[in-house]
C-alpha cells in the first residue's frame, strides 16, 4: 500500500475539512494559525506534496523560484489567486486550483450588510446607543439613504456579482452592471449592461465592486472615477483592497462627494487603514465575506476535491 500524499495546511481551516483531509492525506497542520513567511513556505515545500493556502500565503515569483520540486499542487482555499504568481507556478510545473461558486452567497450577504449599514449610519448609531450617548430624537435625526428603489452599479458580474444583483432586486433596486462581456439574457435577468465603466459610474447611486485584483484593476476606483459617481453615492467593496485608492476615497468622503462606504477588504490586511477609523460614515468589517460555517466547509471540501482529482491522475475541476 502506497504512502499517503503529504498535505500542508498553513492555516487552520474548518474542523470538517481537517477531518476529511486526514482520511486521504498525511496532514501537516499549522496549529499556530499564523501566515507563513516566504522562508517557511520554501522550507515546507520540501516536506509536502501539496499545500492548501489561503490568501495570506504569498506565492510570488521569488518564492516560487525557490520551491522544492516535491511540491506538485497549490490547492487554494480561496477564489482569488492574486497571491499566486500563476505564470511562475505554471513554469515550475506546479498545478494551481481555487474554490469558485461555493462562497458567492456568503460574500453577497456581506456586501448587502455593508450597503445597508453604510446607507443607514450603522456605525454612528451603534456607537451612540452602546455608549449611552443617545439623548435626542427628531424627524431629522440620523436620516440616511434609502436602498429600496435606488440604482446599484455592479462592477464584475461573475458569480458573486450575479448573486449580489439578485439580492439587490429583492430590495427593488434598479440593477446596472459593467463586465468584460455582456451576459446572456437568462443571466442578465433584466439588468442594464454598460460596456464602459464611466457610463456605469454616472448612474450608480450605490456601487459594489466584485471584480478580481489584477494589474489592470489596481486603483480602479481612483480620484477621477470616484468623481464620476453621483453626488452622495455609496461605495461597497467586498472584492480586494487593491481596487480602491484609499487616499482618494478618504478625500471623496471628506468633501461630501461620497456619502459613505462599506468595506470588507483593504490594501493592508490584517490591520486595514487606521485613517478610516475616524470616519463614522465608513462601515468596516475585517475581510469576513466568506466567513460562515457552511461556506468554510464548502471551500475546504472544494479544495480537497481538486486535490483528490489531482492525485488520482485526473484533471482537477478548478484547475487554473
pLDDT in tens, 131-174: 999 999 999 999 999 999 999 999 999 999 999 999 999 999 99
* 97 and 114 inside one domain: no
* 48 and 153 inside one domain: no
Q: Which residues of 203-242 are buried (b: 16+ CB within 10 A; e: fewer)?
A: bbbbbbbbbbbeeebeebbeeebbeebbeebbbbbbbbbb
Is the confidence at residue 1, as pLDDT, over 60?
A: no
How many other C-beta atoms can be found within 10 angstroms of the C-beta atom of residue 282? 24
User: Rounded distance, CA 163 to CA 157, Å?
Assistant: 9
Tell me, what's the pLDDT at 192?
A: 98
Residues facing 319 on adjacent strands: 97
Q: Give the mean pLDDT of 195-204.
A: 98
Q: Give the mean pLDDT of 88-106.
A: 97
Is the confidence at residue 2, as pLDDT, over 70?
A: no
Q: Give the mean pLDDT of 56-67.
A: 97
With respect to residue 214, please indicate whether it lies within any of the assigned structural domains: yes
With respect to residue 316, please indicate whether it lies within any of the assigned structural domains: no
* 215 and 150 inside one domain: yes
* 124 and 217 inside one domain: yes
> pLDDT-derived band of residue 25, with 50, 70 and 90 as boundaries?
very high
* 231 and 159 inside one domain: yes
204-252: per-residue pLDDT in tens?
999 999 999 999 999 999 999 999 999 999 999 999 999 999 999 999 9
Is the confidence at residue 91, as pLDDT, over 50?
A: yes
Q: State the residue range of the domain holding 71.
A: 6-102+293-311
> pLDDT-derived band of residue 57, with 50, 70 and 90 as boundaries?
very high
Share of the chain above pLDDT 90, in %: 98
Four-residue CA torsion sign, 149, 248, 84, 274: negative
Is the confidence at residue 58, as pLDDT, over 60?
A: yes
Q: Give the mean pLDDT of 29-45.
A: 96
Residue 301's CATH number: 3.40.50.720
* 151 and 278 inside one domain: yes
Give the residue numbers annotated as catalytic, written as ranges: 240, 269, 287
With respect to residue 127, please indicate whether it lies within any of the assigned structural domains: yes
* 270 and 306 inside one domain: no
Average pLDDT, the chain: 97
Is the confidence at residue 66, as pLDDT, over 60?
A: yes
* 122 and 16 inside one domain: no
* 52 and 124 inside one domain: no
**Domains of the chain: total:** 2
* 13 and 141 inside one domain: no
With respect to residue 300, please indicate whether it lies within any of the assigned structural domains: yes
With respect to residue 237, please indicate whether it lies within any of the assigned structural domains: yes
Is the confidence at residue 26, as pLDDT, over 80?
A: yes
242-253: per-residue pLDDT in tens?
999 999 999 999
Share of the chain above pLDDT 70, in %: 99
Give phi and psi for 263, each to the nearest 5.
-125, 130
Q: Give the mean pLDDT of 105-120.
A: 98
* 95 and 181 inside one domain: no
* 44 and 136 inside one domain: no
With respect to residue 146, please indicate whether it lies within any of the assigned structural domains: yes
With respect to residue 41, please indicate whether it lies within any of the assigned structural domains: yes
Residues facing 207 on adjacent strands: 153, 235
With respect to residue 1, please indicate whether it lies within any of the assigned structural domains: no
Name the more confident of 3 and 52.
52
Amino acid at each position: 500500500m502506497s504512502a499517503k500524499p503529504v498535505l500542508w495546511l498553513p492555516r487552520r481551516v474548518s474542523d470538517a475539512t481537517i477531518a476529511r483531509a486526514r482520511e486521504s492525506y498525511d496532514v501537516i497542520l499549522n496549529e499556530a494559525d499564523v501566515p507563513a513567511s516566504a522562508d517557511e513556505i520554501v522550507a515546507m515545500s520540501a516536506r509536502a506534496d501539496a499545500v492548501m493556502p489561503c490568501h495570506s500565503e504569498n506565492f510570488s515569483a521569488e518564492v516560487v523560484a525557490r520551491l522544492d520540486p516535491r511540491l506538485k499542487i497549490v490547492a487554494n482555499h480561496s477564489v482569488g489567486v492574486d497571491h499566486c504568481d500563476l505564470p511562475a507556478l505554471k513554469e515550475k510545473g506546479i498545478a494551481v486550483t481555487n474554490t469558485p461558486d461555493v462562497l458567492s452567497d456568503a460574500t453577497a450577504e456581506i456586501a448587502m450588510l455593508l450597503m445597508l449599514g453604510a446607507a443607514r449610519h450603522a456605525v454612528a448609531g451603534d456607537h451612540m446607543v452602546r455608549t449611552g450617548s443617545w439623548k435626542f430624537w427628531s424627524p431629522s435625526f440620523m436620516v440616511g439613504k434609502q436602498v429600496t428603489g435606488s440604482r446599484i452599479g455592479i462592477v464584475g458580474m461573475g458569480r458573486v456579482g450575479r448573486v449580489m444583483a439578485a439580492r439587490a432586486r429583492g430590495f427593488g433596486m434598479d440593477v446596472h452592471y459593467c463586465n468584460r462581456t455582456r451576459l446572456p439574457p437568462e443571466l442578465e435577468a433584466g439588468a442594464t449592461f454598460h460596456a464602459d465603466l464611466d457610463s456605469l459610474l454616472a448612474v450608480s447611486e450605490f456601487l459594489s465592486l466584485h471584480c478580481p485584483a489584477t494589474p489592470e484593476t489596481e486603483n480602479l476606483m481612483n480620484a477621477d472615477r470616484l468623481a464620476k459617481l453621483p453626488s452622495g453615492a455609496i461605495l461597497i467593496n467586498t472584492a480586494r483592497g487593491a481596487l480602491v485608492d484609499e487616499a482618494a476615497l478618504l478625500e471623496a468622503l471628506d468633501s461630501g462627494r461620497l456619502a459613505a462606504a462599506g468595506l470588507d477588504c483593504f490594501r493592508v490586511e490584517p490591520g486595514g487603514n487606521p485613517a478610516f477609523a475616524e470616519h463614522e460614515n465608513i462601515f468596516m468589517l475585517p475581510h469576513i465575506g466568506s466567513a460562515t460555517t457552511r461556506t468554510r466547509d464548502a471551500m475546504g471540501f472544494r479544495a480537497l476535491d481538486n486535490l483528490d482529482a489531482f492525485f488520482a491522475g485526473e484533471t482537477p475541476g478548478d484547475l487554473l
